[in-house]
């Protein structure tokens, strides 16, 4: 499977982000749709020198690490909080959709309706 120059594989990106720091397996699992056990095995393979993309991963990790160092810690925390808020909002909307479907009633207010 070929790869165009300048593009990264999911494996390279995920391992590089993890190695750059500031991101957990759970966050990467959500971001890339890869299980945490798979991510763990990729990181272990990289650390043991068995990973096929070692050079690319090191380059990307350095780039990501320098980008993260430039951002204040507060910005990184705010980004994490924003991602959590987005996921929470998606969860609530899904719960409302399920409740509306199961109960057969409209829970959300219609726009422009008189109050």
CA angle (93 as vertex; 91, 99 as ends), nearest 5: 100
Q: At residue 19, does pLDDT exceed 80?
A: no
Residue 105 DSSP one-character state = S
Task: Enter the DSSP assignment of 21.
Answer: S
The DSSP secondary structure of 88-111, one letter per residue, reads HHHHHHHHHHHHHHHHTS--SPPT
- Please give the Cα distance from 78 to 37 (Å, whole number): 27
Specify the higher pLDDT residue, 81 or 73. 81
Asked whether the predicted pLDDT for residue 4 surpasses 50, the reply is no
């Amino acid at each position: 499977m070929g790869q165009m120059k300048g593009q990264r594989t999911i494996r390279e990106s995920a391992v590089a982000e993890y190695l750059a720091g500031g991101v957990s397996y759970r966050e990467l699992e959500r971001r890339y749709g890869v299980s945490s056990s798979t991510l763990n095995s990729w990181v272990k393979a990289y650390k043991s020198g068995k990973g096929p993309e070692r050079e690319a991963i090191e380059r990307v990790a350095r780039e990501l690490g320098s980008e993260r160092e430039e951002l204040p810690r507060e910005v990184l925390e705010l980004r994490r909080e924003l991602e959590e808020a987005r996921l929470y909002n998606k969860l609530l909307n899904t719960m409302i959709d399920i409740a509306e479907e199961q109960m057969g009633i409209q829970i959300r207010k219609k726009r422009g309706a008189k109050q």
